[in-house]
Amino acid sequence: MDTIEHGVVGQGPLDPEQETRSCLPSAGAALWGAAAGAGGWWLAVWARSYCDAAFEPAGIFVLNVEFPMIVTGGVLVGLMALALGRRLAPGRTAGRTGVRIVLVVVATVSLGWWFFAQEGTLDGYPGDSGLCPASNVPPQWPDWIPA
C-alpha cells in the first residue's frame, strides 16, 4: 500500500537539498528594497524642498529621473542581501531567517540613507528658504544620524 508523505503518494520524505523554495522571501526582500529606495528618495525631495536647495525645475527633473533608478537599486540590493544571507546561513530555522532579515533591512536602509545624504543634502548649495544651515540638512533631522 502506498503511503502519503509530504503530499506525494508513494515517495518518502523529501531530500532537504531538493526541497523547493518559496518565492515569498524574495518577493519580501524586493518589496522592502523598493520601499527603502522610495523612502530615501522621498527624504531627498523633502530636504531639498524644505531648504529650497536645488529645488528648481532642473533639480526636480533630476530627482524624478533618479526615482526609478533608486527603487530598482533598492530591489537589487534587497535581493543580493537575501542571497548573501542564504549563503551565510543556510537552512530554515528562526535564527537563520533572522540573519537574512537583518541583512536585507540593513543593506536596503543603508542605500536609502546614502541616497538622502548624497542627493538630499547638498552641502554649500545656496538655498533660498533661510530655514537650513549651509549644509542644507533640515533642522528636524536628528543630530545622531549623520547626513
* CA 91, 97, 101, 107 torsion-angle sign: negative
Mean pLDDT of the chain: 84
Q: Which residue has the higher pLDDT, 1 or 143?
A: 143
Residue-wise pLDDT tens digits, 62-71: 999 999 999 9
pLDDT of residue 141: 87
Rg (CA), the chain: 22
Place 115 in a pLDDT band, splitting at 50, 70 and 90.
Answer: very high
**What's the predicted TM-score (pTM) here?**
0.78
Place 131 in a pLDDT band, splitting at 50, 70 and 90.
Answer: confident
Q: What is the mean pLDDT of residues 90-105?
A: 86
pLDDT of residue 121: 86
pLDDT of residue 147: 79
At residue 81, does pLDDT exceed 50? yes
pLDDT of residue 15: 46
